[in-house]
């Protein structure tokens, strides 16, 4: 079954998405997400200029061989651009294999290990009172695991929190914005935030918190320790992970569970973290970490060391990635939890999909393949619109040191 066409579709139904569509000689097609927030066109070019010419004429059924060919054949390995591009091909080929077999992808991955995929929601507020309201709102929607982020007194703008009443969206249009950051203000504030949330909602709810890599290891250890009374489900990305051994320091000081990996793109980014059991949840995603094939290898390594998966699922990962993630989550034994940040109605219309949400759980559906499509005519009506993630400086203007 030869690949006869592959093309990249860039669209911006409110935010930018890059999608690869691979078509076989039988007319079957598969989709893969290739969106790298703030660097979208680099992946689009990597695919169009360097990968598509290699795909034409290849056997669409040879998923593993194609993965190895693109990874090892390029000579230049790893990195977010390369691995997002390979992920798009891999995801599209799994979609095709499912359609040809007339089975949902999760059945090809070993079948369902659970009835449905537990997901967590976001509750964001400009201050603690707003965060409390946001938690109540997500509870009403049926979520039983909620990530809580709040604006910090003394810091004008906080990443992860919406502004002007708009829903939170990681990327900002109109140039790169700069935020200021105070570690002291944050470390003083964050235990008070969770003290209030627990006093309002009790102990039964699972609470998560994302540090977005803004602490050094010793500061992260202090945060984890200070948060212990509020027994978080996890503390996410406490410090950058280029130095995987840095997590030893955090581990020595706190029993707050640690989740990490949304910026990782290969198993080598988390090898030591997993093998030394320095983390509890690995958050690598289908789109940024080499596709379903590579994520399965990461999960298999994690399973040996009692590390569970907790895939990233923010709005900058397209519905194609969400569908792929849900098939992966449903099948993999050591699944932990899946992030769920619903897309806008505009995005959902461009990407019609079979996956559903109900009472804190999601399911990928029973359609053959991934169960997600793209309306190309509608996608064409939303041209690319550059947007960037904000940059942080310390209070005196120094670029941050994490
Ligand atoms: O910062 O998706 O856990 N979720 C997050 C996200 C990420 C963005 C980066 O593109 O941290 O909001
Ligand atoms: Co995060």
* Residues 35-70: tens digit of each pLDDT: 999 999 999 999 999 999 999 999 999 999 999 999
Mean pLDDT of 216-225: 98
* Token output for 77: 């390995």
Q: Do the beta carbons of residue 118 and residue 338 sit within 8 Å?
A: yes
pLDDT for 343-361, tens place per residue?
999 999 999 999 999 999 9
Measure the CA–CA gap between 401 and 154, rounded to whole angstroms.
20
**Average pLDDT value for the chain:** 96
In sequence order, the 6+-apart residues with CB closer than 8 A to the CB of 115 are 361
Per-chain residues with Cβ under 5 A from ion ligand 2:
210, 262
Q: Decide if pLDDT at 165 tops 90.
A: no
Q: Decide if pLDDT at 168 tops 80.
A: no
In sequence order, the 6+-apart residues with CB closer than 8 A to the CB of 116 are 330, 358, 361, 362, 363
Q: How far is the CA of 240 from the centre of ligand 2 (A)?
A: 12
The CB density around residue 48, as the number of other CB atoms within 10 Å, is 17
Whose alpha carbon is nearest atom 1 of ligand 1? 170
Q: How far is the CA of 170 from the centre of ligand 1 (A)?
A: 6
Whose alpha carbon is nearest atom 5 of ligand 1? 314
Collapsing DSSP states into helix, strand and coil, what is residue 361? strand
Measure the CA–CA gap between 180 and 396, rounded to whole angstroms.
9
- Model pLDDT, residue 368: 98
CB-defined site of ligand 1, < 6 Å? 37, 170, 210, 212, 262, 312, 314, 316, 339, 389
Q: Do the beta carbons of residue 370 and residue 320 sit within 8 Å?
A: yes
Whose alpha carbon is nearest atom 8 of ligand 1? 170
Q: Decide if pLDDT at 90 tops 80.
A: yes
Q: How far is the CA of 100 from the centre of ligand 1 (A)?
A: 34
Query: Which of 209, 212, 312, 353 is flagged as catalytic?
Result: 212
Confidence tier at 401 by pLDDT (50, 70, 90):
confident
Q: Decide if pLDDT at 162 tops 80.
A: no
pLDDT for 269-328, tens place per residue?
999 999 999 999 999 999 999 999 999 999 999 999 999 999 999 999 999 999 999 999
Q: Closest Cα to residue 28, out of 9, 51, 3, 10?
A: 3
**Partners of 119 in the beta sheet?**
338
Tell me the percentage of the chain whose pLDDT exceeds 90.
Answer: 93
Tell me the percentage of the chain whose pLDDT exceeds 70.
Answer: 99
Whose alpha carbon is nearest atom 6 of ligand 1? 314
Mean pLDDT of 150-162: 85
Q: Decide if pLDDT at 164 tops 80.
A: no
Q: Decide if pLDDT at 22 tops 80.
A: yes
Q: Tell me if residue 159 is catalytic.
A: yes
DSSP 382: S
Helix (H) or strand (E) holding 261: none
Measure the CA–CA gap between 382 and 362, rounded to whole angstroms.
28
Strands 281-282 and 258-260: parallel
Q: Decide if pLDDT at 97 tops 70.
A: yes
- Model pLDDT, residue 277: 98
Residue 183 gets the label, from left (phi > 0), alpha (psi -120 to 50) or beta, of alpha
Ligand nearest to the CA of 39: 1
Query: Which of 69, 159, 357, 384 is flagged as catalytic?
Result: 159
Q: How far is the CA of 359 from the centre of ligand 1 (A)?
A: 23
Q: Do the beta carbons of residue 127 and residue 150 sit within 8 Å?
A: yes
Measure the CA–CA gap between 194 and 205, rounded to whole angstroms.
12
Residue of 124, 162, 210, 213 best suited for mutating to test ligand 1, as the one with most atoms within 8 Å of CB: 210
- Model pLDDT, residue 41: 98
Mean pLDDT of 137-155: 96
The pTM score is 0.97
Whose alpha carbon is nearest atom 11 of ligand 1? 212
Measure the CA–CA gap between 272 and 242, rounded to whole angstroms.
11
């Amino acid at each position: 079954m030869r690949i006869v066409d592959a093309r990249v579709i860039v669209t911006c139904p409110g935010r930018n998405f890059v999608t690869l569509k691979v078509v076989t000689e039988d007319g079957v097609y598969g989709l893969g997400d290739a969106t790298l927030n703030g660097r979208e066109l680099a992946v689009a070019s990597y695919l169009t200029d360097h990968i598509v010419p290699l795909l034409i004429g290849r056997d669409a059924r040879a998923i593993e061989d194609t993965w190895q060919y693109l990874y090892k054949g390029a000579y230049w390995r790893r990195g977010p651009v390369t691995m997002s591009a390979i992920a798009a091909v891999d995801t599209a080929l799994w979609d095709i294999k499912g359609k040809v077999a007339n089975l949902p992808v999760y059945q090809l991955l070993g079948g369902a290990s659970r009835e449905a995929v537990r997901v967590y929601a976001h509750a964001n507020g400009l201050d603690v009172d707003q965060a409390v309201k946001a938690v109540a709102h997500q509870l009403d929607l049926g979520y039983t695991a909620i990530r809580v982020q709040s604006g910090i007194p003394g810091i004008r703008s906080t990443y992860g929190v919406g502004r002007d009443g708009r829903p939170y969206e990681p990327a900002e249009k109109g140039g790169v914005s700069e935020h200021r950051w105070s570690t002291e203000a944050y470390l003083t504030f964050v235990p008070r935030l969770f003290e209030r949330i627990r006093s309002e909602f009790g102990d039964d709810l699972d609470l998560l918190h994302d540090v977005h890599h803004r602490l050094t290891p010793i500061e992260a250890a202090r945060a984890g320790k200070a948060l212990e009374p509020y027994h978080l489900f996890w503390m996410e990305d406490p410090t950058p992970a280029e130095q995987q051994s840095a997590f030893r320091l955090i581990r020595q000081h706190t029993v707050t569970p640690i989740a990490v990996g949304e910026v990782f793109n290969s198993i080598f980014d988390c090898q030591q973290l997993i093998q030394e059991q320095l983390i509890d949840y690995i958050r690598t995603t289908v789109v940024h970490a080499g596709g379903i094939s590579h994520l399965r290898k990461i999960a298999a390594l994690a399973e040996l060391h009692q590390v569970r998966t907790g895939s990233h699922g923010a709005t900058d990962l397209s519905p194609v990635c969400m569908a792929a993630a849900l098939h992966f989550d449903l099948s993999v034994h050591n699944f932990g939890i899946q992030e769920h940040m619903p897309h806008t109605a505009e995005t959902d219309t461009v990407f019609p999909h079979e996956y559903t949400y109900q009472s804190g759980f999601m399911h990928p559906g029973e359609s053959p393949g991934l169960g997600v499509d793209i309306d190309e005519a509608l996608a064409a009506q939303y041209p690319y619109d550059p947007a960037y993630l904000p940059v942080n400086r310390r209070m005196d203007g120094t670029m941050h040191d994490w």
